[in-house]
Structures are given as structure tokens and as C-alpha cells.
């Protein structure tokens, strides 16, 4: 365009006041559900339950409720019941409709804004949007309120009331029943996880002393379910999967649960609960013989996976108190040099819980606490109590300090190892491992690293790969079990060192995810016991030392086929016995028509010597269906490996995610740790569930 050429605006609709959308009622929730529940995936779906449960739980925290029931119903509907005060049903002065309808159909309407004057001294609800958001994202919802001798009901469709609140009878009960049916227009898949729900509600039972929580799974129940008159379904005697939780020990009991499979360093579990200003602080901790730390934080009983101000206050006090204690009690030169935050948290299991009236979270999903006053309150309460604990329990204090000193020594040894192996190597031009067949692309987002088992599979993968985007790193045998290995010992392992260098991120305190050379790290092992073991060892390594790679979705597991089935010229690959059997049934293949190839056998019949024999064998071959069972990747030729396991257009890979970090941590401790007893018990209890092909 010439410099002085006139710019003519494109013809388009005018942009005036009429262009501005005003979303009324609960429309904003349906328009942008992720803003209110985090996502419309599995986590957001479960968040609906947490929102309704939290309302009942807040009643319990206020002392008005001691029993909550959560039931999964057929069709993936959910029913939550409590014996609290019941949502008010009288007319609201401002909205001119029932308070129940106001709470269920209006954003930012609730009883949790005015502190004790509103009826809630402490609550998990911040914005008053919980019940209304669940209502907006449900294709159907119903609330039954039992209050002051009467039962009242109101029904809703996608957030809008279907009729006014009406009284349907008398009742001796007191409380609220919320039934909701998640909307398939919002959620791509509606399937609740029993284990996720049980884990979350068990945790909540620990946090509210004296609260009984029942969970029922009636999704597969085919009989009639009494939703109209049964206040608690469990009392109706349904023979379905159920769990009940009731704990009087609070966080003290929760620490014992988390450390069930651990070896404690000291006998006494530290515990304190005290009010500081407007903040109630509760902390329980115990050190165990482990290298990982477990810090679990709650604010008004809402789990904060990202921590927040209360965790910052705790960490500050923990480091300060232990440093002060060793200086006063002459624990030697290593202790006097000072402990870092990482030193004092090694092997620590701690639960930090605060409760306060005016609480601030970062986001509606409440993942991180933002209330500044929680930091100083936690630091003061915990610091004073833990300092006294160390003075009053000298043997426990000595055990804790010795554990921290061990962490200091390990830190120094690890630093020396990193200086000699990483800083001098990968960070200063160390060549890539000789066994690594790198890809041509230098764009991490386009590049993949296949971590394969053994040189045989490595050779096949190198031949069959797409050289432009796919790199291959074969591992020799089983790598070191790093669950009980410190960083210096890990880096002495050539296999682990090669993997770290190939990834490019370094490790430990110099880890940098931005330097990851491949955005897909694909574990490709054989479909046998040894392959599963190697895969578990690699997952342990990634979970313990490269957790950000797991969280960012960079870790995958390849799914090579178990069977190659050839019928005439048609070849199909199947990834399970069920897939193969379904194919044979569909094709009408009889048992006498099957030809099963043993490991290493050629699935093609040998040529006949004479024309007559050749004709006979041709007829025989035409009638046969040849099945080959793969035991390892090395049995495939390069074309088969590419077609079934490496070709992005046809392969099956599973992305590794961690939905419940605490449960994952416990499982890794159990299966990969040094304590034999708990692992033996787990294997005995679950042996019948194993499907092992040896």
C-alpha cells in the first residue's frame, strides 16, 4: 500500500450499546463454567459434589450438624443430605421470593458473608455461589428442606425454578436434601469416581471432629429407590457399596493415616490447636524415615493443593525454631552452619489447617489461600508450640535434628555430584549419550523421546521411527529404584544419567522445565512382568524427581499390541484379549481354523515341495486364521513397530496424570519403599485382582 493511500474501513455491523451482552441470573455460569468450577472435565464434575457437600460441612463446623450422607444414584445423579438447620424458606426481603429460591438461583447469594450475624462464624464458602453454580450446571435439581416441622420442596431445570417453593407435608427431621443431575450439555463425560469421592470425604471426616459421613454407591442398583420419604438412604438398608467415616482425633488421626506405611523417626506426634486473633490454627506433624515431604494444607476445611499463606508461615517457623534449637543445644558443626527450608522438610508429614471468618482464596476452586493474616497467625502459634515440644521431648527432638543433619549431608553430597556430573557435563556442553538416536527437529513441541527397553527393541525402533521428530533412548536392564536413593547415588547410575542428559532439564535444584528437549517422553516397555517393573521404576523416577513434567502432561506410556491376527491378506492388531476375542466372534472364526504362533515362530506356513502338496497347503492356508502373541517390542520388525506403536496416526499412548497426589505418594511409598511388611500385605490382599502374563 502506498504511504499516503487512504485506509477505508471494512463494512461491518455497528459497535454500540446494543453490542454489549448482559447475562442475567445464572447465565454467566453456563457461559463460562470453568470460571466457577475450574474445568468441565472430571475435576470440575466432582467439584459439583464438593460445593454441595461443603455447605453441609459448614453446618457441621458451626455445630449444627453431625451427619452427612452422599449417595451416587443411577444415571450418575447425586444426592447430598445433612441434618443441619435447613435452608431458610421464608420470603427474602430484597428478592421478594423464598430464601431457598434466592440461594439456588442467584449468584453471590448465601448466608456466609456476615460472619456470626449471618449464622456462620466460619465457612468454606467465600462467594456464596456454590449451590447456585451447581444448580446452573445441572439439567435437573431438587431441594427438600426439613425445617420447623414442615417439609418444603422446589425443583429446577438448568438453574431456573420450575415452580414456587411449596410445603408437601409434616416431618420430624431437620436438614436439607439436595439432588442434582449434571448437565450433559456442559460436561463431555459424566462419570463419577468412587475412589475420588471416598478419598475426599474421608479427608473431610478427619478435619471435622465428631462428624459422621456416609457414602453410598447406588449407580448399579436396579430396584426402586425411595427418594421421597427416606431421609437417609443408608438407613433404608440398601445392599450397595458404602463407606462410613467418623474420627474423634482430628488432624492427629490424619497424620497416623498418612504415615500408616512409614517408619516414624520420633514417637510423639506433634499437635497444636490455638486461636490467634481471628484465626484458629491447627497443626499436626511427624517425621518419618523417608526423603520425600508431605505438606497438606486446609483453610476452612477446603483442601489447598497449592498451599498459600498458612503454609508459608508454617515453613518460616519450622526453619527458624529448629535452627534456634540446635544453636542452643550444641548439636555440632553441621547443625550450627544452619538448616535450609529443604533440609528441615525432608521426611516431614504435616497437616496445616486454619479457620477464619473473612477468608480469601485465589480462584473459586480455592487451590491457594491468600489471606495474609493467616501467615503471621500460623507462624506464631506453631513456632511457640513446636519450640516448647522440642524442649519437653528431648529424645524426639534429638531424633528430628539427626534426621535433618542427615538431610544436610545428603544435600552437600548431592551438590558435589551435580557439580561434577551436571554442571561440568550437561550444563557445559556434555555430549548426548552415545546410545541416544536423536531426532532432526530442534523444536521441543514437535519432538518425542521413546524410552525403550533393551538394545534389541532400541534397534528396531531406530529403524522404524520418523527421524525428523522421534528420538530413541534404549535402557540396559532395570534402572535404579530411586525411592530410597539420594541424588548423588542416582547420578552415579549411567542409565539415569543418560536419561537426565537426554531430557536436557537437569535435576534437583537446577531443574529447568523450559530446557526440556522433547515435549513427549514416551515409555515403551514389553508387555510382560519385567516390562511392567521397568515402567514402574521409570514412573517412580519421574514422580519423585521430575514431578513438573508429570503435572505438565509430558509423560506418556506406549501401548504396543498384544496380538497380530492375519486372515488372508487382512492384518489386524489387538491390544487386549477382549479385543481379539470380539474380532474372532464377529468374523465367525471357529477354534479349528486358528493357528497360534508360539514366541519367535513364523506365522506363515512353509512352502510345499510338489504342486499337489502346494495346492493342498494353499487351500489349508486360506481356511486358517493366524494369531501371533507378542511378548516384547523386539519381536516386531521395524514396519510393525512403526505401524502399531510409533505412528501418531494409529498408535495408542496413555498420558500419565496424578489426580490425587497424596494417594499416589502413599502408593509409591508402599510399593517401592524399603518396608517389606506393608508391601507383602498389599500383594496378598490384591493378588486375586492381578492379571499377569508370565
**610: pLDDT strictly greater than 60:** no
DSSP β-bridge partners for residue 460:
none
Domain residue limits, the chain: 27-245, 251-416, 432-560+655-661, 575-629
CA distance 22 to 481: 58
Q: What confidence tier does 536 reach under pLDDT thresholds 50, 70, 90? A: confident
State how far the Cα of 372 lies from the Cα of 391, in Å rounded to an integer: 30
Distance between CA atoms of residues 469 and 483, nearest Å: 32
Distance of alpha carbon 364 from the chain centroid: 19
**pLDDT at position 348:** 95
pLDDT at 504 over 70: yes
Domain 251-416 falls in which CATH fold? Answer: Ribosomal Protein S5; domain 2 (3.30.230)
Return the CATH architecture of domain 432-560+655-661.
Answer: 3-Layer(aba) Sandwich (3.40)
27-245 matches 251-416 in fold: no
Residue numbers in the known binding site are: 453, 526, 528
Q: Give the span between the Cα atoms of 224 and 496, in whole angstroms.
A: 57
Backbone angles phi, psi at 240, to 5 degrees: -135, 165
Smallest Cα–Cα separation from 274: which of 384, 361, 375, 360? 384
Beta-carbon contacts of 213 under 8 Å, excluding residues fewer than 6 positions away, are 67, 68, 69, 70, 201, 202, 204, 205, 244, 245, 246
Better-scored residue on pLDDT, 615 or 26 = 26
Q: List pLDDT tens digits, range 378-422.
A: 999 999 999 999 999 999 999 999 999 988 888 787 777 666 654
pLDDT per residue as tens digits for the range 425-463: 443 445 678 789 999 999 999 999 999 988 888 899 999
Of the given ranges (146-160, 314-328, 596-610, 667-681), which has the lowest mean pLDDT? 596-610
Give the model confidence (pLDDT) of 258-302 as tens digits. Answer: 888 888 999 899 999 999 999 999 999 999 988 888 999 999 888
Instruction: Output the CA torsion 450→454→457→459 (10° steps).
Output: 90
Q: Mention every residue, 6+ apart, whose C-beta is less than 8 A from residue 635.
A: 599, 600
Mean pLDDT across the chain, nearest whole number? 83
Matching residue, cell 409434616: 170
**For the residues 294-317, what does the mean pLDDT come to?**
92
Asked if the model's pLDDT at residue 153 lies above 70, the reply is: yes
Number of neighbours of residue 28 by Cβ within 10 angstroms: 16
Q: Which helix (H) or strand (E) holds 253?
A: helix 251-258
Poorest-pLDDT segment among 156-160, 476-480, 586-590: 476-480
Which residue, 525, 558, 552, 575, is CA-closest to 653? 558
Q: Which residues does the annotation mark as catalytic? A: 453, 526, 528, 530
C-alpha cell at 634: 523386539
* Tens-place pLDDT, residues 3-25: 444 444 444 444 334 433 334 56
For residue 595, give the 3-state DSSP assignment.
strand
Q: What percent of the chain has pLDDT over 70?
A: 81
Beta bridge partners, 248, equal none
DSSP 3-state of 406: helix
Q: Are 512 and 506 in contact (CB under 8 A)?
A: yes
pLDDT (tens digit per residue) in 549-572: 999 999 999 988 888 899 888 888
Q: Would you state the pLDDT for residue 569?
A: 84
Quickly list DSSP for 132-187.
HHHHHTEEEEEEEEEETTEEEEEEEETTEESS--EEEEE-S--EEEEEEEE-TTT-
pLDDT at residue 423, rounded to an integer: 44
Of 35-44, 297-306, 361-370, 372-381, give the range with the top mean pLDDT.
372-381
The answer to whether 648 and 470 have CB atoms below 8 angstroms apart is no
The DSSP element (H or E) to which 683 belongs, if any, is: helix 676-686
368 CB neighbour count, 10 Å cutoff: 18
Q: At 592, is the secondary structure helix, strand, or coil?
A: helix
All cell numbers assigned to 411: 544435600
By mean pLDDT, which of 138-142, 595-599, 604-608 is the weakest? 604-608
Confidence at residue 108, expressed as pLDDT on a 0 to 100 scale: 64
Which residue positions form the known binding site for Mg(2+)?
453, 526, 528
Q: Give pLDDT, residue 9.
A: 46
Residue-wise DSSP of 61-79: HTTS--EEEEEEEGGGEEE
When comparing pLDDT for 615 and 107, which is higher? 107
Distances (CA, A) of 618 to 530, 596, 604, 652: 39, 18, 11, 35
Give residue 607's pLDDT band: very low, low, confident or very high (50, 70, 90): very low
pLDDT value of position 666: 60
* Region of 38 on the Ramachandran plot (φ > 0 left; ψ -120 to 50 alpha; else beta): left
Q: Quote the CA–CA distance of 261 and 677 in Å, as a whole number.
A: 9
CATH architecture type of domain 27-245 = 2-Layer Sandwich (3.30)
Amino acid at each position: 500500500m502506498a504511504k499516503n493511500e487512504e485506509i477505508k474501513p471494512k463494512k461491518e455491523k455497528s459497535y454500540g450499546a446494543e453490542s454489549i451482552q448482559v447475562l442475567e441470573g445464572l447465565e454467566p455460569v453456563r457461559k463460562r463454567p470453568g470460571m466457577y468450577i475450574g474445568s468441565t472435565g472430571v475435576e470440575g464434575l466432582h467439584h459439583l459434589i464438593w460445593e454441595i457437600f461443603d455447605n453441609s460441612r459448614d453446618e457441621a463446623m458451626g455445630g449444627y450438624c453431625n451427619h452427612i450422607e452422599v449417595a451416587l444414584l443411577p444415571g450418575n445423579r447425586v444426592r447430598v443430605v445433612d441434618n443441619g438447620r435447613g435452608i431458610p424458606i421464608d420470603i427474602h426481603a430484597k428478592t421478594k421470593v423464598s430464601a431457598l429460591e434466592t440461594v439456588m438461583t442467584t449468584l453471590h447469594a448465601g448466608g456466609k458473608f456476615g460472619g456470626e450475624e449471618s449464622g456462620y462464624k466460619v465457612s468454606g464458602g467465600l462467594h456464596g455461589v456454590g449451590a447456585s453454580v451447581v444448580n446452573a450446571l445441572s439439567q435437573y435439581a431438587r431441594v427438600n428442606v426439613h425445617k420447623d416441622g414442615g417439609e418444603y420442596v422446589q425443583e429446577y431445570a438448568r438453574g431456573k425454578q420450575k415452580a414456587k417453593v411449596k410445603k408437601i407435608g409434616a416431618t420430624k427431621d431437620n436438614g436439607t436434601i439436595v439432588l442434582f443431575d449434571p448437565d450433559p450439555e456442559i460436561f463431555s463425560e459424566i462419570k463419577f469416581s468412587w475412589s475420588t469421592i471416598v478419598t475426599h470425604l474421608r479427608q473431610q471426616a478427619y478435619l471435622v471432629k465428631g462428624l459422621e459421613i456416609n457414602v453410598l454407591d447406588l449407580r448399579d442398583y436396579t430396584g426402586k429407590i425411595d427418594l421421597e420419604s427416606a431421609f437417609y438412604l443408608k438407613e433404608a438398608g440398601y445392599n450397595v457399596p458404602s463407606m462410613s467415616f467418623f474420627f474423634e482425633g482430628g488432624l492427629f488421626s490424619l497424620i497416623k493415616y498418612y504415615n500408616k506405611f512409614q517408619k516414624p523417626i520420633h514417637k510423639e506426634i506433634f499437635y497444636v490447636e490455638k486461636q490467634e486473633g481471628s484465626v484458629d490454627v491447627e497443626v499436626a506433624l511427624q517425621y518419618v524415615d523417608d526423603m520425600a515431604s508431605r505438606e497438606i494444607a486446609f483453610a476452612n476445611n477446603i483442601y489447598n493443593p497449592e498451599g498459600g499463606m498458612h503454609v508459608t508461615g508454617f515453613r518460616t517457623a519450622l526453619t527458624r525454631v529448629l535452627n534456634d534449637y540446635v544453636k542452643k543445644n550444641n548439636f555440632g558443626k553441621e547443625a550450627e552452619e544452619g538448616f535450609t527450608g529443604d533440609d528441615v522438610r525432608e521426611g516431614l508429614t504435616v497437616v496445616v489447617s486454619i479457620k477464619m471468618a473473612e477468608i480469601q482464596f485465589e480462584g473459586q476452586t480455592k487451590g491457594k489461600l491468600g489471606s495474609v493474616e493467616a501467615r503471621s497467625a500460623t507462624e506464631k502459634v506453631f513456632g511457640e508450640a513446636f519450640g516448647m515440644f522440642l524442649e519437653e521431648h528431648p529424645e524426639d527432638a534429638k531424633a528430628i535434628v539427626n534426621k535433618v543433619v542427615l538431610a544436610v549431608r545428603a544435600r552437600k553430597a548431592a551438590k558435589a555430584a551435580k557439580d561434577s556430573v551436571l554442571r561440568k557435563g550437561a550444563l557445559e556442553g556434555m555430549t548426548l549419550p552415545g546410545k541416544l538416536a536423536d531426532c532432526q527437529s530442534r523444536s521441543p513441541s514437535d519432538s518425542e523421546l521413546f524410552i525403550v527397553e533393551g538394545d534389541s527393541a532400541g534397534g528396531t525402533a531406530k529403524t522404524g521411527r520418523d527421524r525428523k521428530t522421534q528420538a530413541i533412548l534404549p535402557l540396559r536392564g532395570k534402572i535404579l529404584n530411586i525411592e530410597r536413593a539420594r541424588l548423588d547415588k542416582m547420578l552415579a547410575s549411567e542409565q539415569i544419567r543418560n536419561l537426565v542428559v537426554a531430557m536436557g532439564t537437569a535435576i534437583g535444584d537446577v531443574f529447568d522445565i523450559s530446557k526440556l528437549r522433547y515435549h513427549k517422553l514416551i515409555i515403551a516397555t514389553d508387555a510382560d512382568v519385567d516390562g511392567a517393573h521397568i515402567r514402574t521404576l521409570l514412573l517412580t523416577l519421574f514422580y519423585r524427581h521430575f514431578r513438573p513434567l508429570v503435572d505438565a502432561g509430558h509423560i506418556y506410556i506406549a501401548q504396543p499390541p498384544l496380538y497380530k491376527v492375519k486372515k488372508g491378506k487382512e492384518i489386524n492388531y489387538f491390544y487386549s484379549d477382549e479385543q481379539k476375542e470380539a474380532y474372532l466372534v464377529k468374523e465367525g472364526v471357529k477354534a479349528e481354523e486358528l493357528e497360534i504362533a508360539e514366541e519367535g515362530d513364523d506365522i506363515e506356513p512353509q512352502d510345499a515341495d510338489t504342486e499337489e502338496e502346494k495346492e493342498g497347503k494353499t487351500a489349508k492356508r486360506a481356511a486358517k486364521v493366524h494369531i501371533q502373541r507378542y511378548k516384547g517390542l523386539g519381536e516386531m520388525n521395524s514396519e510393525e513397530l512403526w505401524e502399531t506403536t510409533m505412528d501418531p496416526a494409529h498408535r495408542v499412548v496413555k498420558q500419565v496424570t496424578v489426580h490425587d497426589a497424596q494417594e499416589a505418594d502413599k502408593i509409591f511409598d508402599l510399593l517401592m519403599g524399603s518396608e517389606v511388611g506393608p508391601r507383602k500385605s498389599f500383594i496378598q490382599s490384591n493378588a486375586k485382582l492381578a492379571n499377569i502374563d508370565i
